[in-house]
Amino acid sequence: MRKLKLDELNRLSTDEFKDADKTPIIVVLDNIRSAANIGSVFRTCDAFLIEAIYLVGICATPPNRDIQKSALGATETVTWKYFPTIQDCIADLRELKCEIMTIEQSDKSIMLDKFHPENDKKYALIFGNEVDGVSDFAIQYCDTCIEIPQFGMKHSLNVSVSAGIVLWDFVSKLKG
């Protein structure tokens, strides 16, 4: 066994990425405080050919040095849009006919391993603030709440880790 070299990875160029068929998911970051977390989510979205990232409220936006440190150029490939409020963002997602899902623990959440996305739908996945989680407004106006099963004491994950887990699960189910 040997580690593959960069030229063996068959990576897309920026233009090829922009022209490629995207996974029909819009990732929404709802008031994320850490630019490093935002950059990590950009990089994950690039890895899974996610359609777009929507940044809401206090989220830093590209170009931003702290986003770039973890995004490693993904802000050049992944389409993004900024909204001042989650209300504005959800209105836009409704116009796009997205199924809006919050990634949060709630009294009506569906465990991620039990949820099966449909190939003919476009999804918007809302990830919340590192301290407060997804806003109450987003939970009230979403179609579904998805929860990542957890078994330890903390019952919380870093937002970029949560995004990686959920996106991998959705993409593997949609493309599997």
Local mean pLDDT, 10-residue blocks, the chain (176 residues):
90 89 97 97 97 98 97 96 98 98 96 96 96 94 96 91 98 93
pLDDT at 106 (0 to 100): 94
Q: 4 in a domain, yes or no? A: no
Supply the CATH number for residue 44's domain.
3.40.1280.10
Q: Report d(CA 68, CA 39) in Å as an integer.
A: 6
pLDDT at 149 (0 to 100): 96
pLDDT at 148 (0 to 100): 97
Q: 164 in a domain, yes or no? A: yes
Spatial CA neighbour of 88 closest among 133, 33, 138, 123: 138
Q: 7 in a domain, yes or no? A: no
Spatial CA neighbour of 117 closest among 46, 53, 55, 168: 168
pLDDT at 12 (0 to 100): 87
Q: 10 in a domain, yes or no? A: no
Q: 8 in a domain, yes or no? A: no
Q: 129 in a domain, yes or no? A: yes
pLDDT at 150 (0 to 100): 94
Q: 5 in a domain, yes or no? A: no
Instruction: Give the number of domains in the chain.
Output: 1
Show the domain range for 40. Answer: 19-147+157-175
